[in-house]
Amino acid sequence: MARYCVLWIPTIFHKKLSLLEDRPNAVDVNLCDIPELEYRVTVTLDCNGNVDITPIAEGDDRIVRLTFIKSTFNGLFLYKYEESTQPEVTSLLGEGIPFVIYNTIKGFYHKHQYRNGEEDAFLKPYVIESQSEPDINSSTNDALVHYLENFEGGFQAWLNVFQRAYDDVKARKWSINAYEGLVDMTYKIKGEELYCKSLGRSVNYMPDAVDCDKPNVSQIEFNIGNVLACIKHLESKALNEFGFKNATTSFRIALWALGFSILLGITSVILSVFGLLKC
């Protein structure tokens, strides 16, 4: 039995993904969630797309290699999982792929636009032991279903958080900070919706899109539509932020002016009373 993993690199386009030019090909990360128990490894991407995970500590010769096999137009990357560990030695990564490793590999190809990488924790790497290589070109392949189910759970969790934030805004009607947080959350969710729809709708093109380098007309049309949706989303966000900040500034200026007027009124009354007393 061989071990394989399929990592989904978030994309709003149906085309072959390229490496980001401004990213280093080697990144040091901490495998341990507890800083006091820090255990650092280096994640290295070679020119063939293979990923090596090696400990920084001296004397630890455990190495994990994710051998790149192929990728699809919708961002699924298939790797063969190989580890140079003797049976009696503890595995470097355990049974799966830790989120920090998955997030680091995503960073070679994907730049987070709508939120930081740590907020992608709802996406769990897909790992499987199988006698045959998983078929990631099928419209019903298990890895695709796995990541869509991740999104399903993620959106349900965001709904609960959004509802609590909305209730908080209602309870604090004049809280500008609470409202800004609600608006920011809305744009994050809408941004993730673009990625989710890109992955979900890719099933419509999978039978005709085995070749990543030659997208069909329907895929090109989809890409254009998603680009326009992304531009519209960013435009709406910019207009809202600009308008809201102006409204906030005007509101604060109005409050300052009101306070200043009240202060002048009180001062005038005090001076008048003081004048009468002198008389």
State pLDDT tens for residues 131-160.
888 999 888 889 998 998 998 888 888 888
Please classify residue 52 by burial: count the beta carbons closer than 10 Å to its beta carbon, then call 0-12 exposed, 13-18 middle and 19+ buried: middle
Intra-chain end-to-end CA distance of the chain, in Å: 104
- CA angle 57/60/64 to nearest 5° reads 105
- Decide: 8 and 123 in contact? Cβ < 8 Å: yes
Task: Specify the pTM.
Answer: 0.75
Tell me what pLDDT residue 67 has: 94
Domains of the chain by residue range = 2-130, 142-263
Instruction: Name residues of the chain where pLDDT drops below 70.
Output: 1, 35, 84-91, 113-119, 172-179, 207-279
Please classify residue 78 by burial: count the beta carbons closer than 10 Å to its beta carbon, then call 0-12 exposed, 13-18 middle and 19+ buried: buried
